[in-house]
Structure 1
Amino acid sequence: MSPDPSPLSPPDTGDQGRDILSLRDFRLRFRGQPVPTVNGIDLKVAAGEILCIVGESGCGKSVTAMSIMGLLPPRSSEVLSGSLDFLGKSYDLRHENLPAGQRGNQIAMIFQEPMTSLNPSFTVGNQIAESVLQHQGGSRAEAMERAHDMLVKVGIPAPRQRLNEYPYQLSGGMRQRVMIAMALANDPKLLIADEPTTALDVTIQAQILDLIRDLRRETGMGTMMITHDLGVVAEIADSVAVMYGGEVVEYGPVTEIFDNPQHPYTIGLMSAMPRLDQPGGRLAIVPGSVPSMANMPSGCRFRSRCAFAHARCADPAPKVEAAPGHSVACHFAPLEQNLAVTA
């Protein structure tokens, strides 16, 4: 079965020279699956930009990030197509990944659960210092001093004491800060943050988001943040990519996506958010569930759950520019015009 053509490209920033990372036409299939798990993904991140990738669990957000980092085992996955431009160098992802020397150095990743990402057998200081030694060399004393400086930078109290503590001795918020300190210890150009505020209370979540914003402002690094929380997206994003069923269905500036959502799936996500001006009201739902890869519909992958589904939706969804820089993969976009015609 031939994969559907790429439904969507990211908006043109107007400054191609500033792009840190550009992912083009990325398709990946896990062994034994009949269709691509991730299908035709185009993303890019510029210096100083925070791109949020949003969608429900299983939509391909983390798979895309892990593929960028080259962390998926080749025995269980197959890249069908895709090119990655990172810091001016191109990689054909069918045959090559980012060099190991780039990971943790020029590009770094924060994983979902810091307690399972940090090694329980080593102190916090040793784990951060190991990353510095791996990529920058120098003495262990210098690396430990860099670890201390990073703990100060991410706002951990009593940093000298924390250097000698183990992950289990820290709170969830402090462990997440340690993960950020480790990721940023080598001054990466791009940070990938996979659900960095999961399982944190709202106060700590706000602190982590403030920290990422501050570090972005200080260092100019680009950030790709993966989340299913639209509140986080509204708080921190510059641009948003909405994913469904392994595809990007809507892409654009955060204000445009929130003020003028055009894809039925994006509208469903927005409608499901609690509202302070409607206390006690029932939340809207997106009916049904994401189809399995074995039963993924042809054409628009959302059509089995879409209230506006039409026979034409069995064909691949076109890329429509709903507004400058705002792309939508839907036959009916812009909805205000086309739904009235087809009703």
Structure 2
Amino acid sequence: MSKAIDLNAAPVLSVENLALRFKGAPANIIDGISFAVRPGETLCIVGESGCGKSVTALSLMGLLPRSVAQVMSGTAMFGDHDLLELSQRAMADLRGNTISMIFQEPMTSLNPSYRIGDQIAEVVLRHKSVTRAEARQRALQMLDRVKIPAASSRLDDYPHELSGGMRQRVMIAMALANDPAVLIADEPTTALDVTIQAQIIDLIEELQKETGTALVMITHDLGVVAEIADRVCVMYAGHMVEDGPVEAIFDDPQHPYTIGLMSSVPSVGPRSGRLAAIGGMVPAIDNMPSGCRFTPRCPFAQTNCAVSQPPLDELGPSHRAACHYAPLETVFPEAVFQEAGS
């Protein structure tokens, strides 16, 4: 559910024209990504696997090897800091302190050789002037905060002794231990069953409201987006193809890719015909189409779509789409209706 966000507040994280290329690649893996997130706001970045969502997050966290991933352009302003220009030492001082991340799979993110209480305490000790006893007490507080039952008896457990849902709660506790200004969550419920997914999303929402943390949620689950997002960025093949308030994206999607994503979501109620699907696959980095990268899969593609990349144009209040023919209903009224309503 959308929250009341102070749109006049300065963004806590502002990314402008981010382009990233892997060494030896013929094209940018991320190309011209721009977004901003304000205190207390939830921005969801959506798209299929391979669209560049996780790479975007890892680049902002400074977790891509600089010998492999080269920033071609752009800035990522976090307060007075450009995250893309910081040294590895300076980035390490911010990471886990004022900007944190929750990863997809907690079993590979937690160290199997260390007790969970020690792992949370280590995050606190790295960034705060506290004693080891105080850091351990903070770890206990965080386990309570993320609603792990009998937290005091769990402090000395190893990751393998916890369920998947509990491990993800530990990851959230670690990420929020120092009350960060920005939290990036990279598909934090992917490996969990549906019931536990809902609990984790509710927990993240609850903690965000308590702390006022800006949340960047990376997901392919449009149900999660509808529940928690204030704003949505839709990515395809490294490009941002549409962004806007969650209501605009769901009620009036304007990029063919966004329409395809919406149409492919199963509905609870009755429907006629087969579930819509987007034909084809996200192109590989060594086979990127010229012009609009969605052209080979787009039901509305015209000749010029394969020639020039459309700009991200304003369509409404804070609503933009990168399509030569947006708003689509003015050019393809019947086709858009069939795609979005099938």
TM-score (ref. length: structure 2):
0.93
| Structure-2 change in CA distance of 1:168 and 1:86 (3 Å) | same
Distance in 1 between residues matched to 2:334 and 2:221, nearest whole Å: 34
Question: Which of 238-247 and 292-301 deviates more?
Answer: 292-301
Change (3 A) 1:145 1:289: same
Q: 2:23 aligns with which of 26, 31, 44?
A: 31
The answer to whether the Cα contact below 8 Å between 1:80 and 1:94 also exists between their aligned partners in 2 is no
Task: Write the mapping of 1:279-318 to structure 2, written as runs, cut at 5 A.
Answer: 281-313=273-305, 314-318=307-311
Find the counterpart in structure 2 of residue 321 from structure 1.
Answer: 314
| C-alpha distance 13-317 of structure 1, shift in aligned 2 (>3 A) | farther
Write the distance in 2 (CA, Å) between the matches of 1:320 and 1:212: 32
Q: Classify 1:135/1:94 alpha carbon distance in 2 versus 1 (closer, same or farther; 3 Å).
A: closer
* Structure 1 residues 216 and 342: alpha-carbon distance in aligned structure 2, compared to 1, 3 A threshold: closer
Deviation of residue 139 (structure 1)?
Answer: 1.0
Query: Contact 1:81–1:94 (CA<8 Å) still a contact in 2?
Result: no
What's 1:151 paired with?
143
Q: Shift in Å at residue 290 of structure 1?
A: 1.1
Offset, 1:236? 1.0
Write the distance in 1 (CA, Å) between the matches of 2:334 and 2:53: 34
Cα pair 1:83 1:90 within 8 Å, conserved: no
Aligned match for 1:54, one of 40, 43, 46: 46
Match among 322, 329, 332 for residue 339 of structure 1: 332
> Among the aligned pairs, what percent are the same residue?
59
1:134 is aligned to 126
Shift of 1:280: 8.4
Q: How does 1:1-343 map to 2 (within 5 A)?
A: 14-15=7-8, 17-87=9-79, 89-91=80-82, 93=84, 99-278=91-270, 281-313=273-305, 314-339=307-332
1:77 Cα offset (Å): 1.3
Q: Is the 8 A contact 1:79 1:94 kept in 2?
A: no
Distance (whole Å) between structure 2 residues aligned to residue 92 and residue 179 of structure 1: 23
Amino acid at match of 2:117: G
Q: Number of aligned pairs?
A: 330
Cα offset, 1:36, TM superposition: 0.4
Q: 1:340 to 1:154 in 2, by over 3 A?
A: closer
TM-aligned CA distance change 1:79 to 1:127, over 3 Å: same
1:319 shift after superposition: 2.1
C-alpha distance after superposition, 1:162-206 (max 9, x if no partner) = 101000000000000000000000010000000111121111111
Moved beyond 2 Å, runs of 4+: 92-99, 278-282, 338-343
Q: Which runs of 5+ in 2 are unaligned?
A: 337-342
